[in-house]
A and B are shown apart, each in its own frame.
Chain A
Amino acid sequence: MSQPLSRREVIAALLGTPVLLTGCGESAAKNPPLPPGKLVGASAKAGHRTRTHQPPEIADEDWEQVPVVIVGGGIAGLSAARQLSRLERSDYVLLELEPEAGGTSRSGTSPVVDYPWGAHYVPAPGKANAPLVELFREMGLVEGTDEAGEPVYVEEALCRDPEERIFYRGTWYEGRYLAAGASPEDQAQYDRFREEVDRWVAWRDDRGRRAFTIPMSVGSDDSTVTSLDQISMADWMATHGFDSPRLNWLVDYACRDDYGLRSQQTSAWAGLFYFAARTNSAGEESQPLLTWPEGNGRLVAHLRSQSKGEIRTGLTVVDLEPVEHDGRQQVRVKAVPADGGQSVGLIAERVIFAAPRFVGRHVIAPWRNSPPEGLEDFQYGAWVVANLFLRDRPAWRGFPLCWDNVIYESSSLGYVAATHQRGLDHGPTVFTWYLPLCDELPVEARQQLLDGGREIWAEAALAELSLAHPDVRSLVERIDVMLWGHAMILPRPGFLWGGARQQAAEPFRGIHFAHSDLSGLALFEEAFHHGLRAADEVAAALKTWN
């Protein structure tokens, strides 16, 4: 069998260039017709309205007064909404441009099982992240505490064993590190890498803070740690003498998985964070994962249910204009509905801006002409997510189907089986296939993403899964594809501790910022943290006035 196909090869093959597809015993021409499906892409059109359109005119009598407006209903916006409700400030309106809230944690439903469109797990937090433990307690996922005071999670919410497997040369193996066929040198390097990670887990600065924590903001800002941000993860591996291919693959996989970047594009700080932040103490196993069939869609639903204020979807915020009124700061918010109906004008005391920062460049009025410094440093990667609906389980060799199914040396991240956590072990299932586009320039990646269209990406998913499951084509009944243009913030070297990020969290004339990009790491915990922080800031500010 040839090397797994790269994305380019698949696309090239599909566009008629005769390359490598023959390697897996099938030529593109022979492929049966693609199963039907739809393109689900985040509403690029509605989003781009923020750039191209003049803000609408709104008649004086049409302006509504609302104490708080939340822009964006992703995890950050919904967490802010829940927090305001907990602080008994449910007098807010949340505006979301998509038809439903959830952002990159949205999910879909099917008669067989619900499935994710983006985020699909959260490592079970330890007691150090009290607000998040509180959230999970509220959801009924914490059944007690152990002797060390750490929360104990109900087993149904923890990722069901077996968690992951890896496909290599025709066979699946348990785990994500490819232990099969590892040389003693590989194994030695792997052990040494874990020791190195453990060293960082145990590390404390002179104020007793850990190097890597979740949320990241309570970790150390000592230069011993932050200087890691100046080199790439690949360089860090090289300088530490790690040249084992399978270890480097594992680290590269981790970077692509969490950040959508190759290890040579990822800040070493972020790379080590991935491994060291999720372990309570050195030598311990990393925290188990909380997951649901529909992924973090479950969290979206819960946060929504706890948000007692008003949530309006299908409304794109196109203009935020801070104004002084009777000596008080106000923000005039304009939003346009996706269906082209009546525009909305809201006058808010405070705004929580929980949309990505690049959106602010087009929406926050004063920034259109003079954007704040460092705004261009916020760059976002592009991702393809395909959901494949299968009539039945495909054939495989080796270790059985897991939650996460990874293909060694593939450009994709493999697939997650939605039925796994539901406990459905037979019959129809839904596979969610993830592909980050790791091109050097995000603009190019986005162009490639949109050029592809459903057919190309669906074919890419099928071609890749066929390597591991020769019969998959005959079992897939539908393939829906999501194109995430601005999927997640990119922690490239220099971004995390370069200053722009820290500055960006400062409120700007009544506008408080909350999106997960402020952490430089697209994680549920960071989005949640910023949502809470911004809500607390706003509630405090309003209290001092009233």
Chain B
Amino acid sequence: MNRTPLLFLNVLIIATCGLVYELIAGTLASYVLGDSVTQFSTCIGVYLSAMGVGAWLSGHIHRGEARCFIEVELGVALLGGFSAPLLFLSFARLSWFHVALYGIVFAIGTLVGLELPLLMRILKKDLDFEDLVARVLAFDYIGALAASLLFPILLVPRLGLVRTSLMFGLLNAAVGLWGTWLLEPQLRGVNWLRARGVLVLVLLSACFIKADIFTTLAEDDLYSDPVVYSTTSPYQRIVMTRSDAGFQLYLNGALQFNSADEYRYHESLAHPPLAASRSRKKVLILGGGDGLALREVLASDGVEQVTLVDLDPAMTNLSEQFPPLAELNRHAFEDPRVTTVNRDAMIWLEENPGRFDIVLIDFPDPNSFSLGKLYTRGFYRLLRRRMMDEAVLSVQCTSPLFSRTAYWCIITTLRAAGFHVHPYHVAVPSFGIWGFALASPVPFDQPQQVPDGLRFLNDEVLQSLFVIPNDLGPLETEVNRLDNQSLVRYYELAWWEDARPGKAASGSTAW
């Protein structure tokens, strides 16, 4: 049997695999670190130089090329195959991501760099040099073409990154195992090699089948766009996805913002109170760990101090360190005027007697009892004691369209706590119609003016936010108290009846 054509098939497969790993690394890097041009360039650079190192190393191998080749294949199968799962896992430790990324890219590159020289030396016994070089390189480039076309068209959309990488690991392992037959005459201890080949195959197949155990992968089904970051903090599951239009942040499965239209939401949360308050020296933000409301506040004149209280350090750290998010909030957490506190807002208010001119509340929707307490009369009364007499407060109040009762329950509760309230709402395409409340301990007028240069708000639009259409009009509700948590029940009922995506859609609650 002439084994040469089969060995060329190997070249093709190896070449495809090699490029796929490179593409995976580049894609993941740009998902997580943003700026795909830089990420792809650095990944390719590291990869190519590592291949050079591999090629150079091959020169130091003088005996047993066949054995080495098979060992290298199994190594690439493992490293390349598990590269995507490993990188996904290292998301949770952002500071390690760079190390893991370039380490893996370098290791795979080195091994891939060893592959072709070794194979060529094996083949050289059957072919003359010119023919060999021509054919090997031709197959190498065909493989590269195949990879670069398959990757975006078929692999990522159909298999996702994790399964793609595992699948190509399987191909590498198959090449290795196959080689134990093709190259049998040149091998010693063939059975042991074969056993290892089978082991690698089994390992990769098991992970391929069970890829769902990587929760991130499972989440790929939950979220409409690819997951680029995910972690589970003691408080919540944090997931970021990326689509063509931008980034999305999910907490416990509930969408918090979409970078494509978040400015509508955050301008509407921040600017009405900034405009309505006499003083804006001291601002308090409760929740809002993404730093986006903070960005709006910091861009306004006259703000001297901002305290941001968010339960979850994982969230505020992410907003500070995760490059795409830090860019979106314009590195708000690095501003010297900002103090970040990681504490339950209610406990923090109890413990800290300072008073503020403006308060922004940006908690997730009241989809659990622990969040529900942050919308109670007891909470608002406590907050009142931390506000100057003429201070102004804005509250995100869930959708008045999908959960109209819940929306008016929050308004009713604010009034029961002694606030004067102007309800308002805004259309945010990613969420739908979104509701807010502007409130103050004293009677106050609706704000008339916002600064120039905002992306969404101008003076006319500001006026229109306070016009309530008939289908969002007031409803009688109970006051949400700590001892009845009516709001959580209204809210659950609404989303139960109308399971639409929105700030609190899928899989969010433990019950």
Contacts and interface: CB of A to CB of B under 8 A. Distances in A.
Interface string B467-511: 000000000000001111100000000000000000000000011
A426 B482 contact: no
B511 A155 contact: no
Contact of B346 (A155, A159, A423): A423
B368 interface: yes
A392 interface: yes
Contacts of B369: 161-162, 400, 425
Contact of A423 (B373, B377, B484): B373
Contacts of A155: 376-378, 481-483
Contact of A161 (B234, B344, B483): B483
Contact of A427 (B234, B376, B377): B234
Q: Is the interface of B mostly helix, strand, loop or mixed?
A: loop
B373 A160 contact: yes
Given A160-B482, A160-B483, A161-B483, A426 B311 contact: yes
A126 interface: no
A161 B235 contact: no
Interface in A381-426: 392, 396, 398-400, 422-426
A425 B373 CA distance: 10
Interface string B234-272: 110000000000000000000000000000000000000
Which of A154, A160, A162 has its CB near the most chain B CB atoms (within 10 A)? A160
A376 interface: no
A424 B344 contact: yes
A315 to B, nearest CB: 38
Q: Interface extent on B, as a size class?
A: 20 to 34
Contacts of B346: 423
A298 to B, nearest CB: 16
A288 interface: yes
A161 B372 CA distance: 10
A158 interface: yes
Contacts, number: 52
A154 B344 CA distance: 21
Contacts of A506: none
B86 to A, nearest CB: 27
Nearest to A174: B511
Given A155-B376, A400-B511, A425 B482 contact: no
A154 B379 CA distance: 12
B347 interface: yes
B370 interface: yes
Interface in A155-173: 155-156, 158-162
Nearest to A398: B511
A268 to B, nearest CB: 31
B196 to A, nearest CB: 36
Contacts of A425: 344, 369-370, 373
Which of A158, A396, A423 has its CB near the most chain B CB atoms (within 10 A)? A423
Interface in A419-442: 422-427
Nearest to A397: B510
A424 B481 contact: no
A180 B425 CA distance: 40
A124 to B, nearest CB: 10
Contacts of A392: 234
Given A155-B377, A155-B378, A426 B235 contact: yes
Contacts of B368: 400
Nearest to B379: A423
Contacts of B370: 400, 425-426
Which of B369, B483, B484 has its CB near the most chain A CB atoms (within 10 A)? B483
Interface of A: 154-156, 158-162, 288, 392, 396, 398-400, 422-427
Given A155-B376, A159-B483, 20 more contacts: A155-B378, A155-B482, A156-B378, A160-B373, A160-B483, A161-B481, A161-B483, A161-B484, A161-B485, A162-B369, A288-B483, A396-B510, A398-B511, A400-B369, A400-B370, A400-B510, A400-B511, A422-B347, A423-B346, A424-B347
Interface of B: 234-235, 311, 344, 346-347, 368-370, 373, 376-378, 481-485, 510-511
Closest 10 CB pairs of A and B: A425-B370, A158-B483, A161-B485, A155-B481, A155-B378, A160-B482, A155-B482, A423-B346, A156-B378, A399-B511
